[in-house]
Amino acid sequence: MAERVVLHVGTMKSGTTYLQALLFAEKERLAGLGVLVPGRKWSDQSRAVREALAPRRGGPRSHWEAMVEEVRAAPGAAALSMEFLGPAHPDTIATVVEALGAAEVRVVVTTRDLNRTLVSMWQETIQNGRTWTWAEYVGEAEAKRPVAGSVAADRRTPGGTFWRQQDLVRMVTDWAGVVGAANVVLATVPRPGAAPSLLAERFAEATGLDLDTSREVTTANESLGVASVLVLRRVNELLAERDLAFPAGQGLRKRVLAKTVLAARRAAEPALGLTTPPWVREQTALTVAALRESGTRLVGDWADLEPVDVPGVDPDDVPLADVHEAALEGIAGLIAEQIQKRP
C-alpha cells in the first residue's frame, strides 16, 4: 500500500497541462526514487478520475478501479494530477481519498490570478463546445461571484461553470475538510516575466517530489487568437442547431480544428485582452483574506494572485473580415488533415 499519495487537483488554467506533461516525462526517474506515477500516459489518469467523479451514472469503473489497485500496490509514494478533482463534492472527495488508502494524502492546488484566468477560461469553454459570448461570460462571472458559505456552482450557466472551477476558497475548504488543512498546499502561478522553470520549482516544493524542473516538455493545450475563438463559437452554435452539441465530434472539433489548425494561426491574430475590472480586484482581496485564515500552506507569493491586466482586444472590435479569414483557414486546415490521413 502506498505510504503517501500526492493529489494535484487544479485549478483549471493554472499550468496544469504543463505540469502533467512534466510529471509523466519524469515518470521513469521518479519510479527509481520510489514514486509511482500511475498510468502509461496522463490520459489514463484523466479517464480513471472521470469515472471516479461520476459514480451515480452507473457507467464502468474499470479504469478507476485499476488505478486504485496500482496505487495500493505501490510500496512508496504515488502522484496523480487531474484538475477535475478540484471542485468535487465533499462526499466524492472522501470516497476518493478512502479508496486510495494511503496513510498520508497531500493535496496540491495550483492557481493563477483571476483576471488572466477569466481570459483563459472563456477560450477553454468555447473549445469545449460552449456558445457563450465574451460579454456574457464576464458579466455572469461578476454576477455569480461566490460569497462565504456558497456551495458548488451550477454547470449550466457561464458564471456557474466559471466559479465551479475557480472558487478557490470552496475547493481548499472542501479538501481540507477531508485531509486536514495541514495537508493542503496552495501553489501560485508566477507573474508574467518570471523564469519558465519557476512554476515547476514551486510544484516540486508543493508536492514534495524530486522533479527535474529544468526539463523541457511539450504541451498541446494551445490558446487561440480572438478571431479563431469567434469562429469556433459560431461553429458550436451551428452544430448545436443540427443536434450535434458537444461532445459530438469532440476529436475533430477540439483536437484538430482548435488545438491543431486554429492554434497554428495564433501569431497572426490579436489576442483576447482584459483590463482588470474593479470587481476582480475586490473578489481577489476577499479570496486572499479567506485563504490566509484557512491555515493552508502557500508556495509562492500572495502577490502572485493580484490581478494582471491582459493585453489584447475585445472580441467586439475584431473586424468581420478577420473572422472570415480564420474560418476559411479552418476549413482548409480540416480538409488538409483529412487528405493527409488518407493512404
21 part of a folded domain? yes
Kindly state whether residues 247 and 205 are assigned to the same domain: no
**Position 58 pLDDT exceeds 70:** no
Q: What is the mean pLDDT of residues 319-330?
A: 97
pLDDT in tens, 124-161: 999 999 999 999 999 999 999 987 545 556 778 999 99
- For residue 320, which phi and psi values (nearest 5 degrees)? -60, -35
Residue 236 pairs in a beta bridge with: none
301 part of a folded domain? yes
- Three-class SS state of 7: strand
Q: Domain containing 319: what range?
A: 226-270+313-341
Q: What is the mean pLDDT of residues 32-60?
A: 88
Cell 493512404 found at:
343
CATH number of the domain encompassing residue 177: 3.40.50.300
- For residue 227, which phi and psi values (nearest 5 degrees)? -60, -40
- Return the closest-CA partner of residue 191 out of 278, 310, 19: 310
Q: What percent of the chain has pLDDT over 90?
A: 86
Q: How many domains does the chain have?
A: 2
Query: From the CB of residue 162, how many other CB atoms can be counted at a distance below 10 Å?
Result: 26
Kindly state whether residues 199 and 86 are assigned to the same domain: yes
Kindly state whether residues 74 and 96 are assigned to the same domain: yes
The mean pLDDT of the chain is 93
143 part of a folded domain? no
pLDDT score, position 128? 94
- Return the closest-CA partner of residue 104 out of 185, 211, 32: 185
22 part of a folded domain? yes
Kindly state whether residues 57 and 187 are assigned to the same domain: yes
Kindly state whether residues 201 and 263 are assigned to the same domain: no
**Position 247 pLDDT exceeds 60:** yes
Q: What percent of the chain has pLDDT over 70?
A: 96
> Using CA atoms, how far apart are residues 78 and 101, in angstroms rounded to an integer?
11
98 part of a folded domain? yes
Kindly state whether residues 258 and 172 are assigned to the same domain: no
Q: What is the mean pLDDT of residues 176-200?
A: 96
Q: pTM (2 decimals)?
A: 0.93
**Position 94 pLDDT exceeds 60:** yes
Kindly state whether residues 299 and 174 are assigned to the same domain: yes
